[in-house]
Amino acid sequence: MKLPGVSEFSWRDVATEARLLLIGIPVFLWTMIPIYHMFLFAISPKEDAFSGKLWPDHPTLHNFEIVFKQQHYFLRDFYVQFWNSTLIAASVGVLTLFIATSAAFSISRLKVPGGRMVLNLALFTYFIPAAFLAVPMYRTMGNYGLLNNHWSLILAMVTIASPYAIWVLKQASDKLPVELDEAAVMDGATTLQIFRLVYLPLMMPSLVAIGTYAVLLAWNEYLYAFLLLSNDREITLPVALGNFLAADDSPWELLMTTGFIYALPPAAVYYAFRRYMVGGLTAGAVKS
Amino acid sequence: MAITLSGDQSIPAPPLSPRLTPAQVWGIVLLAPYLLVFLAFVVYPVCYGLWLARAPSNYVALYNDPIFARAAVNTLIFLVIGINIKMLIALFLSGFFAQQRPWIKWLSVIFILPWAVPSIPTILSVRFMLNPEWGMVNHFIFSFTGDDGPNWLNDPTVALTMAIAVHIWKSLPFWTLILITGRLAISHDLFEAAEVDGASWWQKFRFITWPSMQTLYVTCTLLSMIWTLGDFNSVYLLTGGGPADLTHVLSTLGIRYLRLDQLSLAMASIVCAMPFVLPLVYFMMKRLSR
């Protein structure tokens, strides 16, 4: 069978393709090396991991077994910490969605007085680097008596996730035709009915994107988690990973294995919702 | 029910009267959760922090602390050099990824990985790669040259460069993605017309691509600079601020003071960054809330 394009073979196309490959291969290597290195450690026995080989002589899943059976000093609370991460990420997702959706509906659809100002304040918070807010936030959580309590991290992450969430949802709400609300009002719908029956269903794609954004933000957070939580059974997985470094002879192969397990869920979620993420988030992220 | 999508009329604002309509009452009720969060976890901490940093002695102490001066310089290097290199690469790669090839499509899916995975395991992975005795990089240098490789993270300049590289590794996909959307928005007819006129690739870039993308590019660069000020992970997880506290940036320095229980110094160091941050933030808000 003759392939289309083969007959139009030309050296010019080959040169273009070669030039593209010359960019593509370094990009691939640059992207994959740290991730491959992590994977390599996860499947290597300790001796192989430290010998700098590109593929271990005896690839093994033993490291995963140690992690899943919690057979190391650093891993004795692995399941509790995994659960903490999950619970906190889920709570942040739900709370952010609730707060941001109501605020966006209020500002965009109900045109609440002062809504514009609240939006600007939120936008301002969005631009303040989170690491700067971390210092006073730490002290504030202490004043509220929430340190070492999951609520401190949940509330802190909701504070950080909401501004962007409100902003993106507000942009999306503005695109819905006002006639929808007017028609619903004509039919005698109350405000809450409009919110529940008209607004929420139409906003679904944006809500999925924002929910995913908030969940990933909370799951990935390191700085706030390690400031606000310290008790071994309260901390989240990233803090536990950071604690590996406290020892001089850290079991790096176990650290990388745990890190690999920790990195899988967000990567899976990201790829599952990529369609929404790219459409919903990049469009809102930077308006030219 | 027929819905006309034409026209851009909005609901006329109800006259301001002391009695609120039910819709407005609901508006306030629905806005209240965010306002509460904002008051409790933004306004109060910020005011409290500023109050803690009010004493001039804090600023004298900062001025006399060589680590602070070093961190300020490092932050500037990070922002001015690091971010511009990153954005130029992102601009270049956005052109590459805009090419219509099946394998480039697949590569773009892989390329997003650093952004999709959490930073802590990957940064720690890089940290071990750079380990002078056991790391993969020095193993390679040894097997090719027979010499021992450098002690990467023990030299402040190299260590900071590596932290910038880690930052670029992590956030390059995001900015490339945004610049790709900008590039794809340019009408294809322009390029075809230029092709007919025999324009070189540089002329196409200079007269078509760049003029349509420069606003987006500048916005992205400024936004990336503001956010990079808060990039704690790249430096803290790779170098921990070391060697000898020479690779701190402002975000890790604030946390360092915090851990040394010098909260007012931590706040003062952040206040010192504000004259640079606030104009950028103001500019960005102007741009985005048009």
| Contact criterion met (CB < 8 Å) for B124 and A259 | yes
Residue type, B130: L
Mean pLDDT, residues A206-211: 90
Give the pLDDT mean for A51-80: 83
For chains A and B, what is the number of CB pairs under 8 angstroms?
A: 287
Any idea what DSSP says for residue B289?
Answer: T
Average pLDDT, stretch B40-65?
Answer: 90
If phi > 0 it is left, if psi is from -120 to 50 it is alpha, else beta; for residue A148 that is left
**In this structure, how many other beta carbons lie within 10 angstroms of the beta carbon of residue B201?**
10
d(CA B8, CA B16): 23
pTM over 0.90: no
- Residue B273 contacts A where some CB pair is shorter than 8 Å: yes
Contacts of B21 in chain A (CB under 8 A): none
Question: Residue A92: is its pLDDT beyond 90?
Answer: yes
Q: What is the mean pLDDT of chain A?
A: 86
Residues in chain B with CB shorter than 8 Å from the CB of A102 are 30-31, 33-34
What residue of B is the nearest CA neighbor of A27?
Answer: B111
Contact status, residue B42 vs residue A159, Cβ threshold 8 Å: yes
B244-290 pLDDT, tens digit each: 888 898 888 988 988 888 888 899 998 988 888 898 888 888 887 66
- For the record, the structure tokens of B125 come out as 């992975």
Selecting from A28, A99, A278 the residue whose C-beta is nearest the C-beta of B110 gives: A28
Name residues 211-250 of chain B within 8 A of A (Cβ): 213, 215-216, 219-220, 223, 226-227, 229-233, 236-237, 250
Q: Do B46 and A133 touch (CB under 8 A)?
A: yes
Angle (CA) A104 A109 A115, round 5°: 60
For the segment A84-109, the average pLDDT, to the nearest whole number, is: 95
Identify the pLDDT of residue B5.
42
Q: Do B119 and A222 touch (CB under 8 A)?
A: yes
Question: Which of A98, A135, A221 is the mutation pick for testing B, counting most B CBs within 10 A?
Answer: A135
* B163 close to A (CB below 8 A): no
CA–CA distances in Å: residue B158 to residues B150, B155, B165, B168: 9, 5, 10, 15
Report the percentage of chain B scoring pLDDT > 70.
93
Which residue of chain B has the CA closest to A263? B117
Name every chain B residue with its beta carbon within 8 A of the beta carbon of A222: 118-120, 232-233, 237
Q: How far apart are CA A240 and CA B124, in angstroms?
A: 13
Top-tier CATH class for A76-281: mainly alpha
Choose the closest CB to A52 out of B41, B107, B139: B139
Chain B residues near residue A120 by CB distance under 8 angstroms = 285, 289
pLDDT for the residue B250? 87
Q: CA A93, CA A273: separation in Å to the nearest integer?
A: 14
Contact A246, B240 (CB under 8 A): no
* B45: closest chain A residue by CA: A136
Give the residue-averaged pLDDT of B81-92.
95
CB spacing of B113 vs A31 below 8 angstroms? yes
Question: How many percent of chain A have pLDDT more than 70?
Answer: 92
Q: Who contacts A42 (Cβ-Cβ below 8 Å, separation ≥6)?
A: A63, A64, A253, A256, A257, A260
pLDDT of residue B4: 41
Taking 80 as the threshold, does the pLDDT of residue A48 lie above it? no
The C-alpha torsion from A52 through A57 and A60 to A62, rounded to 10°, is -70
Alpha-carbon span A118 to A113, nearest angstrom? 10
Average pLDDT for A223-240: 90
Asked if B2 is an interface residue toward chain A (Cβ–Cβ < 8 A), one would say no
Output the pLDDT for position A163. Answer: 92
What is d(CA A64, CA B277) in angstroms, rounded to the nearest whole number?
44
Instruction: Give the angle subtended at the CA of B241 by the CAs of B240 and B244, to the nearest 5°.
Output: 115
Contact A103 B215 (CB under 8 A): no
Of A37, A111, A113, nearest to B136 by CB-CB distance is A37
Q: What is the pLDDT of residues B183-234, one digit of tens each?
A: 888 888 888 888 888 888 888 888 888 998 888 899 889 889 988 888 888 8
Contact B48 A242 (CB under 8 A): no
Q: Is B109 helix (H, G, I), strand (E, B) or coil?
A: helix
Q: How far apart are the C-alpha atoms of B62 and B69, rounded to whole Å?
A: 8
Query: Do A222 and B120 contact (CB within 8 A), yes or no?
Result: yes
B103 near A24, Cβ under 8 Å?
A: yes
**Residue with structure tokens 């809450």?**
A192
The answer to whether the CB atoms of A132 and B4 lie below 8 A apart is no
Residue in chain B closest to A163 (alpha carbons) equals B34
Which three-class secondary structure string do you get for chain A? Answer: CCCCCCCCCCHHHHHHHHHHHHHHHHHHHHHHHHHHHHHHHHCCCHHHHCCCCCCCCCCCCHHHHHHHCCCCHHHCCHHHHHHHHHHHHHHHHHHHHHHHHHHHHHHHHCCCCCHHHHHHHHHHHHHCCHHHHHHHHHHHHHHCCCCCCHHHHHHHHHHHHHHHHHHHHHHHHHHCCHHHHHHHHHCCCCHHHHHHHHHHHHHHHHHHHHHHHHHHHHHHCCHHHHHHCCCCCCCCHHHHHHHHHHCCCCCHHHHHHHHHHHHHHHHHHHHHCHHHHHHHHHHHHCCC
End-to-end CA distance of chain A: 48
Among the listed ranges A159-163, A253-257, B18-22, B244-248, which one has the minimum average pLDDT value?
B18-22
Instruction: Enter the tokens of residue B275.
Output: 């004259």
For an interface test with B, which of A112, A215, A221 has the most B Cβ atoms less than 10 Å from its Cβ? A112
Domain boundaries, chain A: 6-66, 76-281
Using the structure block, give the residue that is written with the tokens 């206040």. Answer: B271
A81 has pLDDT over 90: yes
The pLDDT assigned to B229 comes to 87
Alpha-carbon span A152 to A226, nearest angstrom: 11
| Euclidean distance between CA atoms B110 and A268, whole angstroms | 13
**Which residue among A105, A132, A139 places its CB closest to the CB of B30?**
A105
**3-state SS class at B174:** helix
Residue of chain A whose alpha carbon sits nearest to that of B28: A112
Check B110 against A32: CB less than 8 A apart. Answer: yes
Please state which of the ranges A100-104, A145-149, A200-204, B140-144 shows the lowest mean pLDDT: B140-144
Mean pLDDT score, A188-199: 86
- Where residue A105 falls among pLDDT bands split at 50, 70, 90? very high
Nearest to B165 by CA among A221, A34, A259: A34
φ and ψ at B172, to 5 degrees?
-55, -45
Backbone angles phi, psi at A3, to 5 degrees: -80, 140
Helix axes A200-220, A78-104, angle to 10 degrees: 140
Look-up of token digits 């069978």 = A1
Q: Where are the beta strands (DSSP E) in B70-166?
A: none
Give the model confidence (pLDDT) of A270-285 as tens digits: 888 877 766 555 555 5
Choose among B48, B112, B121: nearest Cβ to A260.
B121
Compute the average pLDDT of residues A17-42: 92
Euclidean distance between CA atoms A86 and A30, whole angstroms? 30
B2 has pLDDT over 50:
no
Q: Confidence class of residue A158 from pLDDT cuts 50, 70 and 90?
A: very high
Does the distance separating the beta carbons of A132 and B273 come in below 8 Å? yes
Asked if B128 lies within 8 A of A252 by C-beta distance, the reply is yes
The pLDDT score that the predictor gives to residue B151 is: 82
Instruction: Say whether A98 and B33 touch across the interface (CB within 8 A).
Output: yes
